[in-house]
Structures are given as C-alpha cells and as structure tokens.
Amino acid sequence: MTSQQRVVVIGGGMAAARLAQRLGPAAADGGPVLTVLGEEPHRPYNRVLLAEVLAGRYAREVIALPAPHDGVRWLAGVRAVRIDRAGRTVLCDDGQAVPYDRLVLATGSNPVLPPLRGLFPPGHEDLPDGVHPFRTLDDCAALGAAAARPGARAVVIGGGLLGVSAARALAERGVSVLLAQQGEHLMERQLDAGAAALLRAHLETLGVEVHTECRVRGLRVEDGAVRGVELADGYAPAADLVVLACGVRPRVGLARAAGLPVDRGVVVDDRLRTADPRIHAIGDCAQHDGLVYGLAGPALEQADLLARILRAEAARYRGTRALTRLTLTGPGPGTAPAASAPLDLAAFGTPSPRPGDDVVHLSDATRNAYRKVIVRGDRLVGGILLGDLGAVGTLARTWESGEPLSEAPLLHLLTTDHSGGPGTAPTADGGS
C-alpha cells in the first residue's frame, strides 16, 4: 500500500471532474492520489450546455471543462466492469485492475428508453437509424448531423427540461419539430399550468408543434430507419429523426453487483458513504435521504463536500436545494418583437401549493411575464419566474437559507418592474 491514500473514481462526468479539480492539487502535498475511469473518450464537458451545442450556438470545444490537474490520472475511454470489494480493486474492460483505498461511484445515469413498439425491431439490438437519446456529447453530434439534412422532420418524445431544450435547439436549426408530452403540461416537475402555458406559447412561436396529454404508442420503421411515430389518438406524423427525452435512470449496476444497497440510486449517508465505508457515491447515481437529484447543481455540491471528506475534514451533506434555469431564444429576425424576445425561466422548490399555503402570483401574458411564489408559514418554499429574472437571485437565496420571510421585501421584489415598463399588478391567493 502506498503512503498516500489512493482514490479511484468510476465515471468521467461533471461530478468526477469537479472532484478532480478539488483534490488534484492535494496530491503534491501528500493528499489523496486520484485516478478517474472515464467511459467516454472525450475530456470532461459541461452536460448542461449540450442543447447550446445542438442549436449551433456553441462549438463542442466551448463546453469542455478545464483539463485535469497534473496530479490526477485520468483514463478516458476505460469502462469499469466489476468492483472487487474484498481485494479493493476495480476491474476494467481493457484488462486493468486498479487498486483503491477509497472508491467513488460517479457513474451518472442512462436515458430512459420507453416501451415503444418498433424501438427494437426483431433481430436488432440497436436503435433504428434516426432514433437518438439526448444525454452525451456523442448523442449531440449524431443529432446535429441528422438535423443538418435538408427537410429534416423531428419528433421529440418527452416534455421535461431535456425535451424542451432539445425541441428548442432543433427548431433553431430549422428542423420541423413535434414535441409529444404524456403529462398535462410541459416541465411538470418545475412549472405549474400557468407558467407551462407561456412556455408552450413561446415554443410555438419557434415553430414547435406541441402535443400534451399525448402518448406515443410506437415507431414506424422501414429498412432499419425510422419513418414516423404513432400516437395513441391515431395521429401518425412522419419523422426521420426521433429524440428520446423521457428522463434518466441512475446507473447502479456496478454497485448492485458489488452487493451495495441500491434503491432508486446507490444509498449514501451524510458523509456520502455507501454501506461499505470505503466506497462513496455522488451525482446522478447517488440517493441521499431518499432523494436522487439528477441535476448538475447537487452533483457539484456533493463533489465539493466529498473532497473535504477525503481530506479528513469534518463535513456532512444535508441535501441540496436546486434551482432550474433555462433561456429559450426567439425565432430570429423578421418576427414581431414580443415573439422574437428570449424567454428566461427560473424555478425552485415546489411548483404547487398545499392547502393553507399563501401564494403571490403576478402574470402578464402580453409580455410573457409570470411571477409566482409560495409561502408556507413564514418560509418561502417555491417559486416560478418567467420573463425578467431580476428578482431570482434574492428569492433563491431566501429559499435556500430557509430564513423567515419578510412580506414587504417579497412584494417589492415581485412588483418591481426590472424591464423598465409599467408594473404588473399582483394577485394574492391565500390558503389555496
């Protein structure tokens, strides 16, 4: 055993890159020696910005994260296949056996593949040509190549954050897009019906055909390539490009095979440890206090805290309050100013009130302005803002802190018109 603690990370995504950034310099001072096993062949990148690459706004090099520190051994294109807990070794697909003193699972998540007829034709193990998930840089490159074909027609299955981002990006590329959402409205996890209606209207100004409460029943596949989709109501739009944006599922296979407790994710405690105290989990694969976040913010916070723990500092993870932000650009020149303006969106906490909660709600559909906060007792528990986001920083900090709320500053923030036009009159829904 070396004199320095050997830390091995399985996974080369944003959480692993952040942990490497925090721990790398420590190796020179006798701190942990870090090895990262990254399954993707690329250097780590900002997954949050994949839609910007797909839209053609950023080159793929722009979203690359800083190169690993010299003190970090980063093995790209190497997949871990088994964890030998007794021997404290990770076995890899290239034959390597990498020893560890501490192991970190940062395996991320896989896209959910819905049970669609035609998704895997008889005798085929691969998706039909033209059918793509939207999760990795390779997925993004494949979608970009398909979108560049003249007359491309796309169906995006899933109206959550990922599906909305993919539909917007493809529409900006000039692709004819139909967005199919099985739920009642778009981005159900983050938005209420009113905010979702404004989001839908904005997507429609981009040329996206939005269908809610719409289940996709199957794919029409000919000669190994997708030709269209079949909706449950009988509508069968043509398509040569289908994007699967139906959510993600934590990658827990390695942990389960190693005998570690797995629920929806790999179960960890307040020090991000699994049932084996030498093995930790962070990011999309980790489940803390019953929650699997699946968002970049919590993954980065967990990586920061684990770096402190691995440096033997007294630190505990208490959960993350995550803020969702999204900017949808307008359809470009030649349109009315209201339609061509970008739509900024921010959401935090719960989108829907409980009985007894107080709701302050402001809306102006003519200017795509929507502001709503939910107060429980004297605490801010959720908020949705579309349009001008001048108040979002203060509101989010108040929510994150959990401190008692002062009514006057809240109303001031919501009624102040940061865009310079006339203010929007508030309505207060008490006890909704």
pLDDT, tens digit, 9 for 90 and up, residues 11-53: 999 999 999 999 987 766 777 889 999 999 988 999 999 999 9
Residue entry with tokens 């739009």 = 237
Domain ranges of the chain: 6-110+249-310, 131-246, 342-430
Looking at every residue in the chain, the average pLDDT score rounds to 88
pTM value > 0.85: yes
Position 264 scores a pLDDT of 96
Q: Reply yes or no on whether the pLDDT at 430 is more than 50.
A: no
> Which CATH number, 3.20.20.70, 3.50.50.60, 3.90.1210.10, 1.10.3720.10, labels domain 131-246?
3.50.50.60
One fold for both 131-246 and 342-430?
A: no
Position 420 scores a pLDDT of 40
Token pair for residue 25? 């310099």
Q: What is the mean pLDDT of residues 130-144?
A: 95
Position 391 scores a pLDDT of 73
Class of domain 6-110+249-310: alpha beta
> Which CATH number, 2.40.50, 3.40.50, 3.30.390, 3.30.530, labels domain 342-430?
3.30.390
